[in-house]
Amino acid sequence: MAQNVKVLLVDDNPMILGMLRQALTQHSHVTTATDAPDALLKAVDDPPDILITDYRMNGMDGRQLVEKLRARPATMNVAVILLATKADIAERLNMERPIEEFIEKPFYLREAMLRIKRVIDKIALEKMARSAPADGALRGSLSQMNVLDLMQSLEMGRKSGLLTLTNGTDKCEVYFLDGQIHHGTYGTTLGEEAVYKVLAWEKGNFQIDFDKRSSEQTINRSTQGLMMEGLRILDESRRDGGAPEDVLLGN
């Protein structure tokens, strides 16, 4: 899954470029550039799925780079993540097409990666869906995309359908409607508890059937709230006492 999404990372700060590249390599195929003209050439030669670029750079800035890429048929649909100050972000309303995500500088690497990873997973899921078999069901392994990432991607893409998770003889079914989880089952367990039981699964398989629906509602918490609670549960179980991801970048 990691190599399924191509990211073009652009920043004229070597430290930010290096640390983001190291973090992103775990989740995607990364190409880097230290300025916008170099990034433009690389994007034309090999169009990325996602552009992550600093907003303020000498010469051609991030905004101009985005405009040039969106003016070309081969790169017009690239998802864009901008690294920008609070004042720069205010200008987003003046951009002709929406930006996928803004990362406000300075930022903590771990927090930025959580938001970037959501976009990567959304793009990965969309690419998988385009290559789905004739029956319309999307199938994969949890080694490709874990449970939490799957659910966040479905939420971000406002998808509807049935997500089925299997691990040996265990099975969990989670129903989405416009990105919101409204029903979950795991054996005799229903609702939020059914979802929490599978969040830590690292082995098994998933299937997404976008045509399946359920009228039952056993979950009232928003998907975002559910995932935040899930992240809290996972963080508690995996806490390691602090890591390099806590560094503040772009100050």
pLDDT digits (tens, 9 = 90+) for 20-57: 999 999 889 999 999 999 999 999 999 999 999 998 88
Q: What residue has token string 């899954």?
A: 1
What are the structural domain ranges in the chain?
Answer: 2-125, 135-238
More confident call, 242 vs 20: 20
Share of the chain above pLDDT 70, in %: 87
pLDDT tens by residue, 54-110? 988 888 888 889 999 999 999 998 999 999 887 777 665 466 677 888 898 888 898
User: Under 8 Å CB-to-CB from 98, ≥6 apart: which residues?
Assistant: 92
- Cα dihedral 36, 27, 233, 207 sign: positive
Answer whether 174's CB lies under 8 Å from 162's CB. yes
Answer whether 241's CB lies under 8 Å from 207's CB. no
pLDDT tens by residue, 219-235? 999 988 888 887 787 77
Kindly indicate the confidence band of residue 132, based on its pLDDT and cuts at 50, 70 and 90. low
pLDDT of residue 2: 47
Cis-peptide into 106, omega within 30 deg: yes
* Average pLDDT of span 114-137: 78
Classify residue 55 as exposed, middle or buried by CB count within 10 Å of its CB (0-12, 13-18, 19+): buried
Kindly indicate the confidence band of residue 244, based on its pLDDT and cuts at 50, 70 and 90. very low
More confident call, 238 vs 74: 74
pLDDT of residue 243: 44
Is pLDDT at 16 greater than 60 in this prediction? yes
Mean pLDDT across the chain: 85
User: What pTM value is reported for the model?
Assistant: 0.71
Q: Which CATH architecture has domain 2-125?
A: 3-Layer(aba) Sandwich (3.40)
Question: Residue 140 and residue 143: Cα distance in Å, rounded?
Answer: 8
φ and ψ at residue 6, rounded to 5 degrees: -100, 125
Q: What angle do CA 162, 233, 218 make, to 5 degrees?
A: 35
pLDDT of residue 95: 63
Kindly indicate the confidence band of residue 242, based on its pLDDT and cuts at 50, 70 and 90. very low
pLDDT of residue 56: 86
pLDDT of residue 60: 86
